[in-house]
Structure formats: structure tokens, C-alpha cells
Homo-oligomer: A and B are copies of this chain.
Amino acid sequence: MKLGRLNHIGVATPSIAESVAHYRAVMGAEVVREAFDLPAQGVKVCFIDTPNSQIELIEPLGADSPIAKFLEKNPLGGQHHVCFEVPEIHAAKAWFESKGARVLGAPRIGAHGTPVFFVHPKDMGGVLTEIMETPAPGGH
């Protein structure tokens, strides 16, 4: 496997609306995509474009959201995960497993409409890592 594009950095926030206002006013963000719910992952999502990558804002969706605990520890929000692209998700899953890295669950459809999985941060130098099949050009 070759290290792929840094598709996005995942930033947890208690409020996408407030974070978008911050990124527009303070960081000068100009391209803010429409926010949407991703019930399969228990988060609401909003992408902000940088010239070469994206910031994925994630807000808890429902009380048992997997990011609820993160926000308890980090009430302002913060860096939650990083996401790299791979050409084919099942080959990537087999690759990581062959290296002894714990893949968290079966691949499922992620925020860009292609399959993703997460790799346990304890096997990734403390970095919660999302692996995403490269979206088709012009995709979500």
C-alpha cells in the first residue's frame, strides 16, 4: 500500500454552526459545504475546503454519538481524526490487518459516499485514522 492523499482532518465540535462561523470569520474559509447527518456514524458532518484538502467538522448526532465522550473531555472540540485515501477499501482492510493494526468494524459508507473504516489509535501512534476509498471525481 502507498500512503494516499490526506483527504481531510476530522475536527470535533459541539456546534457546527458556531464552528462554521469561526472558520469563515477567523480562518477566512470561503468554501463551506452543506452540513448533513451521517446516522451510521452518529455524527452531523460539514466539510470546509482548503486549497489542497478539507476540514471535516463533526458534531454529535444523538446522545450515544461516538464523539460524545471526546467532547466531554474536550468541551471546545478539537482534533479528532485524520483521513487518508486508498484505491480499494477491502484490500486496505486486509493490508492493515496483516500489519497487526486493529480495524474498527466492517467498512461502511462514509461522509464522501465511499466506504471507510477506522484504525485503532493505539496501533497508529495515538492517531485515530480513517481510511477512505477515493471518491470519484466530482463526487460528494
Please tell me how many copies of the chain the complex holds.
Answer: 2
List A residues 33-48 near B (Cβ within 8 Å): 48
Contact B127 A11 (CB under 8 A): yes
Partner of A28, one of B1, B11, B48: B1
Q: Is the interface of A mostly helix, strand, loop or mixed?
A: loop
Expressed in whole angstroms, the minimum distance between the Cβ of A51 and any Cβ of chain B is 5
Known contacts A1-B28, A2-B28, A30-B2; A125/B9 CB under 8 A: no
Contact B25 A99 (CB under 8 A): yes
Q: Using CB atoms and an 8 Å cutoff, list the residues of chain A in contact with chain B.
A: 1-6, 9, 11-13, 19, 22-23, 25-30, 48-53, 55, 74, 76-79, 82, 84, 96, 99, 101, 121-127
